[in-house]
């Protein structure tokens, strides 16, 4: 991006990537709880033929023109995913994989044919939609990202209850009388908008990571869903702030992949040091549990909710206490204790 750390270009790029990080982190939580985190990957890859066809038909390489093509292709792919899933009763993963492979393959086919269909055309700008070209972001692009970020925040604030309920229990929301078509439309709109508007920044390949990863990391630090969304958006914004700066320091780095790399490092550290369900927290809980096991009588040990290691000398006494067969293994008893299915009378 250049050698000047405090440059105008860096400021514009950083403002845009921060907005994109906020959007991805905020909306990714809803997709994750719907078990549709990878729909971002499917829509992103499926939008690529729209970019190529927009260039083929118009001959223009400006971002708005290419994004319109991507938007049309993304809408078509979203319709295909829903129609194929409902008509043929395929699971969502198979439907997304089919749509993604078909649409992206079509895009690659048209891209390879451009030299014959439009000879002498400059195709280099199309490669930026595969890996991202955040360094070329203009003031108007950053402004568009912030407008979309504000729209996303407003929609989530106004429809928080409906979006949350539909993410965790779709069937219950339908039975309760909520308009499922409206909620599906909002999900589809936000998914397509966040992905399409971020294509030119981080590219087709990495945009889904910007949506899925922040929420995964946030779950290791806070428990409540609202707090998880807040932390995820902060982590997304933080990666959008740090990534372009690192790319400026080292010109060999590209801002888009660097942003995702920063997020991956944060998530890896969350796996190890996070407050909940991290390796460190599990180690601490196991240490405390083993300490409690030694302090309390055997019959009180089974009300603990975390895994324990049963000693061989206690195995026979445990079988008698729970009135299970002598052939019941130590591993089976440990599993039943963890799942809290055995209680001492």
- Give the pLDDT confidence of 218-268 residue by residue, as tens digits: 999 998 888 999 999 999 999 999 988 888 888 788 888 888 899 999 999
The conformational region for residue 277 under phi > 0 = left, psi -120 to 50 = alpha, else beta, is: left
**What letter would DSSP give residue 135?**
G
Q: Which is more confident, 336 or 217?
A: 217
Picking from 8-22, 249-263, 269-283, 290-304, which range would have the lowest pLDDT averaged per residue? Answer: 290-304
pLDDT at 300 over 60: no
Picking from 101-110, 291-300, 322-331, which range would have the lowest pLDDT averaged per residue? Answer: 291-300
Q: What average pLDDT score do residues 174-179 get?
A: 76
Considering 4-13, 23-32, 121-130, the range whose residues carry the highest mean pLDDT is: 23-32
Q: Which is more confident, 80 or 298?
A: 80
CATH class of 8-273: mainly alpha
Instruction: Decide: residue 121, CB within 10 A, 0-12 exposed, 13-18 middle, 19+ buried.
Output: middle
Q: What average pLDDT score do residues 149-175 get?
A: 84
Q: What average pLDDT score do residues 155-167 get?
A: 85
What confidence score (pLDDT) does residue 228 get? 92
What confidence score (pLDDT) does residue 305 get? 45
pLDDT at 274 over 70: yes
Average per-residue pLDDT in the chain? Answer: 79
Considering 25-39, 121-135, 142-156, the range whose residues carry the highest mean pLDDT is: 142-156
Picking from 63-67, 150-154, 212-216, 288-292, which range would have the lowest pLDDT averaged per residue? Answer: 288-292
29, 75, 87, 88, 166 from 184: Cα distances, Å: 16, 13, 17, 19, 9
What confidence score (pLDDT) does residue 263 get? 92
Name the percent of the chain lying above pLDDT 70.
82
Q: What average pLDDT score do residues 282-294 get?
A: 70
Q: What average pLDDT score do residues 22-48 get?
A: 84
What confidence score (pLDDT) does residue 299 get? 43
162, 170, 255 from 176: Cα distances, Å: 11, 10, 45
What confidence score (pLDDT) does residue 306 get? 46
Half-sphere exposure of 207 (CA within 13 A, CB side): 34
- Give the pLDDT confidence of 46-87 residue by residue, as tens digits: 888 888 888 888 877 777 788 888 889 989 988 888 888 777
What confidence score (pLDDT) does residue 124 get? 64
Sequence ranges of the chain with CATH classification 1.10.3470.10: 8-273
pTM of the model: 0.75
Q: What average pLDDT score do residues 149-177 get?
A: 83
- Give the pLDDT confidence of 123-145 residue by residue, as tens digits: 666 766 777 777 778 888 888 88
């Amino acid at each position: 991006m250049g050698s000047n750390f405090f440059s105008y270009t860096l400021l514009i790029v950083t403002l845009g990537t921060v907005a994109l990080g906020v959007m991805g982190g905020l909306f990714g939580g809803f997709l994750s709880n719907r078990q549709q985190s990878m729909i971002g990957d499917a829509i992103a890859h499926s939008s690529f033929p729209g970019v190529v066809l927009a260039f083929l038909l118009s001959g223009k390489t400006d971002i708005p023109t290419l994004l319109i093509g991507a938007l049309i292709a993304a809408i078509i792919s979203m319709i295909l995913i829903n129609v194929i899933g409902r008509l043929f009763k395929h699971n969502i993963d198979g439907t997304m994989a089919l749509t993604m492979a078909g649409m992206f393959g079509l895009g690659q086919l048209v891209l390879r044919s451009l030299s014959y269909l439009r000879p002498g055309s400059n195709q280099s700008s199309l490669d930026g939609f595969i890996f991202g070209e955040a360094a070329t972001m203009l003031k108007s692009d950053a402004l568009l990202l912030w407008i979309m970020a504000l729209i996303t925040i407003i929609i989530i604030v106004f429809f928080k209850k409906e979006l949350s309920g539909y993410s965790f229990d779709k069937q219950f929301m339908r039975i309760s009388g909520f308009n499922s078509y409206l909620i599906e439309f909002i999900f589809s709109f936000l998914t397509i908008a966040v992905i399409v508007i971020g294509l030119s920044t981080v590219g087709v390949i990495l945009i889904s990571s910007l949506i899925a990863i922040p929420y995964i990391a946030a779950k290791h630090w806070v428990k409540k869903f609202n707090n998880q969304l807040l932390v995820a958006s902060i982590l997304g914004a933080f990666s959008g702030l740090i990534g372009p700066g690192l790319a400026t320091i080292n010109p060999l780095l590209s801002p888009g992949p660097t942003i995702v790399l920063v997020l991956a490092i944060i998530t890896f550290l969350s796996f190890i040091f996070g407050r909940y369900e991290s390796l460190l927290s599990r180690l601490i809980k196991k240490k405390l549990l083993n300490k409690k096991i030694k302090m309390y009588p055997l019959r009180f040990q089974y009300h603990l909710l975390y895994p324990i290691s049963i000693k061989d000398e206690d195995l026979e006494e445990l079988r008698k206490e729970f009135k299970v067969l002598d052939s019941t293994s130590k591993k089976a008893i440990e599993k039943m204790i963890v799942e809290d299915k055995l209680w001492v009378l």
